[in-house]
Structure 1
Amino acid sequence: MHLLLALISIIAVWWRGDYRQWKVYYPTLQFIAIGNLTYNFLCASHWLWQLSPDIKWFNHTLLEMSYTFITFPLTALMFLSRYPQEQGKWRIFRHYMFWILLYVGVEFILMIKGNILYKYGWNLWWSAVFDCLMFPYLLFHHKKPFLALLFGVPIAIFWIWLFDIPFSVPIEKR
């Protein structure tokens, strides 16, 4: 399923022609990738969710790399490149709801199939809350990258505090 999601993302970006605008959104595509890398680094020993490989050779490292460098950036590209330019509130609301429900729906399927595991109080509902915040934040980052980075630090600290993620660096003994 995970590999299929990466392939669908690649095909969809190509089919829809969104790839043509990658330079416009490149900083935000990097932002979502760095966000996922940061989660994986900070929560390596205290993960809130963990993706479970569904193909034996597609191990955890390859799985996370596919989401970090393919699935998340390409879905962010599709979200941003098709963001309604008209200021009609209903159209903007539908755009957000489509992407939030898509992410939640895919995660629900992954949960049912046992391809995502939750721990330390995280669950599908927290993922839905996160998605509701993430998509507007992607647009905010695209429009005001410096402010998004600035506000991102206290937001990350809040999530770390909320889920009691230990903030210590293991010291390697020689």
Structure 2
Amino acid sequence: MNLNVIYGAIFIFSAIKWGDWKNWKSYYPTFLFLMVGDLVYQFLFYKHSMWEYVPVGSDKSWAKHTHIAFLIMLIKYPATISMFLGNMPKAAWKKLVFILFWTLLYTINEFTDLKLGVIVHKNGWNLGWSAFFSFVMFIVLDVHYKKPLLAWILSAIFATFLWNVFKIPQSILK
């Protein structure tokens, strides 16, 4: 079973059905923001990962953590951004419900990955932290779409918070 192909197909077909591709240019900066955030994580935490993708089935013949991470950035993130921003409600309470829906969706995806052995948590990370991270991430993505500078500031604050909570040693940096 090539699980990454299956996941990729699910996100592509979902994005085709529910994504807002007419306005992709307006979402593009937010997609890049999400991708840059993941790339920074991959770079900074190379020696101290909080999670790691593990190839299973036929993925073992070609994939490593880095391949899977890039596939997520190139397929899952644009699909997510197109569906998330393209369908964001205007009313505050509906927006909160929508963000909670996406948080639940990402958490269920990760729970499934944990059960299938596709991802492992490390260094104190767990599914609860992933759910919290997803909730904050979706809030910040919505903020970024309207106020990019504020989103960068919020991201720096949240990253510093996580760095301190998990007592990340400075020695992991070059």
TM-score by length of structure 1 reads 0.89
Residue in structure 2 matching 1:14, options 10, 13, 16: 16
Length, aligned pairs only: 168
The residue number in structure 1 matching 2:29 is 27
Aligned residue for 2:26, secondary structure, equals helix
Question: C-alpha displacement at 1:40, in angstroms?
Answer: 0.6
Question: C-alpha displacement at 1:72, in angstroms?
Answer: 2.1
Question: Is it true that 1:105 corresponds to 2:108 in the alignment?
Answer: yes
Residue in structure 1 matching 2:151, options 148, 153, 162: 148
Structure 1: where are the runs of 5+ without partners? none
Aligned residue for 2:120, secondary structure, equals strand
C-alpha contact 1:29 1:74 (8 A) present in aligned 2: no
Structure 2: where are the runs of 5+ without partners? none
Extract structure 1 runs of 4+ deviating beyond 4 A.
Answer: none
- Paired with 1:61 and 1:71, the residues of 2 have a C-alpha distance of 15
Identity of aligned residues (%): 38
Question: C-alpha displacement at 1:67, in angstroms?
Answer: 1.0
- Paired with 1:78 and 1:166, the residues of 2 have a C-alpha distance of 37
The residue number in structure 2 matching 1:125 is 128
Describe the shift of the 1:97–1:154 C-alpha distance in structure 2 as closer, same or farther (beyond 3 A). Answer: closer
C-alpha contact 2:34 2:77 (8 A) present in aligned 1: yes
The residue number in structure 1 matching 2:47 is 45
- Paired with 1:37 and 1:118, the residues of 2 have a C-alpha distance of 18
Question: C-alpha displacement at 1:88, in angstroms?
Answer: 5.8
The residue number in structure 1 matching 2:78 is 73
Kindly provide the amino acid, as one letter, of the partner of residue 111 in structure 2.
F
- Paired with 2:4 and 2:127, the residues of 1 have a C-alpha distance of 17
- Paired with 2:133 and 2:64, the residues of 1 have a C-alpha distance of 26
Describe the shift of the 1:109–1:149 C-alpha distance in structure 2 as closer, same or farther (beyond 3 A). Answer: same
